[in-house]
Amino acid sequence: MRNHEIDFRIFGEEMQYVEVELDYNETAIAEPGAFMMMDDGVIMETMLGDGSQQNNSIFGKLLNAGKRMLTGESLFMTAFTNVNHGKRRVSFASPYPGKIIPLDLSAYNNRIICQKDSFLCAAKGVNVGIEFQRKLGTGLFGGEGFIMQKLEGDGMSFLHAGGHVFKRDLHPGETLKIDTGCIVGFTSGVNYDIQFVGGIKNTLFGGEGLFFATLTGPGSVWIQTLPISRLAGRILQYGVGARKEEGSILGGLGNILDGDGKW
């Protein structure tokens, strides 16, 4: 294997974390802010780029880091290396309620395309790059824009997405229509495009947007039930302006009695 070979365990249900077990001189990389805890004997180093073998030169590191900026990520990543003989552990936590998805890239032709903010951590050597959507319509209306993340290598990578996450395998020519925000990732053989919903009533009153994504096999697709944008929108709906009465027969008087209303 070209990438470091790491063992792992995932803990929790709604707010999960992944514990990575490192042998001597093994390294895991993670997005800034994903770190939760680590054993004594693990050292932490902030580095430019992802530390993959493709980026040994300073120019390669700068190029890789610049590409990451296009996906809205930081220029830097954090590497955690076991410098003691014997096994040591480091843990990374999910940033919001959802599921952590372990992916062995060697089982998926060494390449996965995923949404921009889904990457959590990986074995050192995994290349975290960008994937441009070549079709104009997909880039403009596909929800993720022209740029998605691309994970390449033969090691373990971990994605995180909101709500429940499940995998769907598509046969050759089989097409799945899906809300653009619900896509977590897909294998390189899947064709990603967008389609107009159609129908004047659907367009004006459907509440589902004007476009949905079409994913055509062969390949595997990972889908989330609660995109973070949808969760944030619902929280803002309840957090801004007058509070909804939630069916209380007392209405606004009920808010005053339970301490949340104003005289």
| 2-47 pLDDT, tens digit each | 788 889 999 998 889 999 999 999 999 998 889 999 999 999 998 8
Residue 263 pLDDT level (bands cut at 50, 70, 90): very low
Please give the residue that has the higher pLDDT: either 193 or 49.
193
According to DSSP, residue 207 is labeled: S
Q: Does residue 245 surpass a pLDDT of 60?
A: no
Question: Residue 127 sits in which domain range?
Answer: 7-241
Q: Tally the domains of the chain.
A: 1
Please give the residue that has the higher pLDDT: either 237 or 243.
237
Domain presence at residue 42: yes
Any idea what the CATH number is for the domain that residue 21 is in? 3.60.160.10
Pick the range with the lowest mean pLDDT from 32-41, 125-134, 162-171, 251-260: 251-260
Contact 3, 46 (CB under 8 A): no
Residue 206 pLDDT level (bands cut at 50, 70, 90): very low
Domain presence at residue 262: no
Contact 222, 161 (CB under 8 A): yes
Q: Rounded mean pLDDT of the chain?
A: 80
Q: How much is the average pLDDT of 105-127? A: 92
Domain presence at residue 252: no
Please give the residue that has the higher pLDDT: either 93 or 139.
93
pLDDT above 70 covers a percentage of the chain that reads 69
- pTM equals 0.78
Q: Does residue 51 surpass a pLDDT of 80?
A: no
| pLDDT of res. 121 | 94
Domain presence at residue 217: yes
Domain presence at residue 250: no
**Residue 74 to residue 72: CA distance in whole angstroms:** 7
**Residue 187 to residue 171: CA distance in whole angstroms:** 13
Domain presence at residue 258: no
Contact 204, 243 (CB under 8 A): no
Residue 198 pLDDT level (bands cut at 50, 70, 90): low
Contact 178, 248 (CB under 8 A): no
Domain presence at residue 144: yes
Q: Does residue 220 surpass a pLDDT of 70?
A: yes
Q: What are the C-alpha distances in Å from 59 to residues 53, 75, 208, 223?
A: 13, 14, 44, 36
Nearest to 176 by CA among 120, 216, 125: 216
Pick the range with the lowest mean pLDDT from 59-68, 82-91, 213-222: 59-68
